[in-house]
Amino acid sequence: MKQLLKTGLMAAILSSTVASGAVLAQEAAMNEKHADAAVTYRQSIFQLIRSNMGPLGGMAKGAIPFDQAVLETNGMRLEQLANMMSDYLKVDTRKFDVDTAAKDEIWENWSEFEGKIDALKSASANLYQVAQAGDESQYRAAIGKVGAACKSCHDDFKAD
Ligand code: HEC
């Protein structure tokens, strides 16, 4: 009986995932504790992203001088953080009452969301390359691309 119930549940989960056209890479949070932890982890990634983006925004605005070493380091870190995003965002917390700004659309349109992650990866990699090349005339545009990648994802997938 238990097994039957389990199988039925799994089938229901699978069919709802398939019906929404999502890739099976995502996983539903098992319970509230799991969902809460997932929110903490993903928000931590975004806090680290913010901490690395802060100085770049300052440089682009001219509030602080351009610093090639910081651009290289933070560009590399942003790429690494973007690499973690998919793993930490794939836990679907929709069914739980969690304190989050993540929109349901993330898990409804997972491949689109992954596309936004890829955009941040390439913008960060580009920033690193530009910083390494040391061409100061390119810095501002490269930072702008990273900022645009943040905004483009937030517009669609993050609540205000
Ligand atoms: C692929 C989508 C995506 C990209 C790219 C992205 N974000 Fe976010 N961001 C989110 C989502 C979704 C949340 C909401 C997370 C939550 O509340 O669970 C978020 C939350 C945040 C938060 C709030 C974290 C907290 O503690 O609640 C900050 C700050 C942030 N993002 C900054 C950035 C910056 C800066 C960039 C670019 C360098 C960026 N994000 C790129 C999707 C993205």
| Residue 13: per-residue pLDDT | 52
Residue 77, ligand 1, Cβ within 6 A: no
CA 108 distance to own-chain centroid = 15
Which numbered atom of ligand 1 lies nearest the CA of 98?
18
pLDDT, residue 27, reads 93
CA 129 / ligand 1 centre spacing (Å): 23
The predicted pLDDT at position 15 comes to 47
Both tokens of 125, joined, read 């990699």
127 lines ligand 1 (CB under 6 A): no
Question: Residue 60 pLDDT > 80, yes or no?
Answer: yes
Identify the burial level of 3 via C-beta atoms within 10 angstroms of its C-beta, where 0-12 means exposed, 13-18 middle and 19 or more buried: exposed
d(CA 139, CA 148): 14
CATH topology of domain 26-157: Four Helix Bundle (Hemerythrin (Met), subunit A) (1.20.120)
Q: How far does Cα 79 stand from its chain's mean position?
A: 11
Share of the chain above pLDDT 70, in %: 85
Choose among 74, 56, 82, 70: nearest CA to 140.
56
pLDDT at 114 over 60: yes
